[in-house]
Amino acid sequence: MAKNPDIIVVGAGIVGCSVAYYLTMLGATVTLLERESIGSGASAHATGSLSLLGAEFSPGPSFNFALAAHREFPSLVRDLEQETGMDLLFQQRPSLRLALDEEEEATIKGLMAWQEEHVAMRWIDAAEVRRIEPRLTHKVRGAVYEEQSAQLDSYRLTLALGQAAEKRGAQLQLRPVTDLVTSGSRITGVRTAAGEISCDTVVLAAGVWSKAFSETLGYQIPVQALKGERLMLRFPGEPLPVLISSPKRGHMISRLDGMLSVGSTGGRDYDQQDLFLGDAFDRQPTESARAELLQRAIEVLPALEDAELVQQLAGSRPLSPDTFPIIGPVPGWEGVVLATGHGTKGVHLGPVTGRTLAEYVMAGCVQVPELLKAFSPARFSAESNPDFYAAGQRAEE
């Protein structure tokens, strides 16, 4: 008879696979449960941008968490590539955050007021921007130049984390979790179509589907699906020498596989009544998003009129009401921990979430690490009507 696992991780996206990876490194017996396949949710269509300059991060715990994540990526990528033999298409290069109008310039400079204390960056004028990339539009007013940003393939990263966890003994089972098993105020396992699995601790890292367990927990898990679409183009010119983004127009990144990633749609692109229509809608690429993304891209880089559309990706990102991730114990319960709500920054924050949460769980879930205290689910205990629309407006990628 198989031994019950120490820990069950529900969800095999970037966060769940990261949790499983670090738990197995610490010697835990782990079962990873996924209703579809590894990386089949937000992790499959994420940009993989690892920039610190967007509006998603704010001064204090949010930025400190992002900075810790950013610093860990080079060594994590090296370790995973050596262990799995996979090429994660990881690149480190400068980035430009462009301002094409007065509003964007004000937004960028406003963020620079506190970001430049932590990140090597500087404002450059339009002439210097075009010296770096002459093909950019003459509408550019200037940009913040970040000396070292990074990007990688989010799907490959998720697969590598899952594969490395399996090599250390984690058991991956592709089956949906239908409910949690309770005993008093403690979660003792999960229920699946094939039966119950007992464990010491359950980690709910199911992205937008984490809220399915709200009724059992008597706690409304405050996460909502935020639709996002992006395009993969084949561009006949030389790859861009920098990673490009702008507050209103999203990102433009030359990947190491030769594709140009352009996107993404987010809260700014939908009316309130259309923003949260659910997973079935979110997974459907739309003609309107394709036209909008191509128009934005050509506005920034006119030469893209000659680009070929190769792929259009669409899916849901798990959004919290305050844009902070939701990580930590569920109020009123033992034996269950949340790890969701990372919004458009799941790839950036996934591994550091996995490492920090694994250390917390293996220490007996006694003391929440300082790095995670601001992300506790308890901050929403009294929340009656969370405003996801306002949070969605801050999503840029």
Report the alpha-carbon distance of residue 47 to residue 10 in Å, rounded: 23
Select from 14, 330, 361, 10 the least CA-distant residue to 179: 10
Say what the pLDDT of residue 383 is. 60
Say what the pLDDT of residue 385 is. 74
Residue 330, pLDDT above cutoff 70: yes
What average pLDDT does the segment 124-140 reach?
97
- The pTM score is 0.94
Percent of the chain with pLDDT over 70: 93
Phi and psi (nearest 5°) for 354?
A: -60, -45
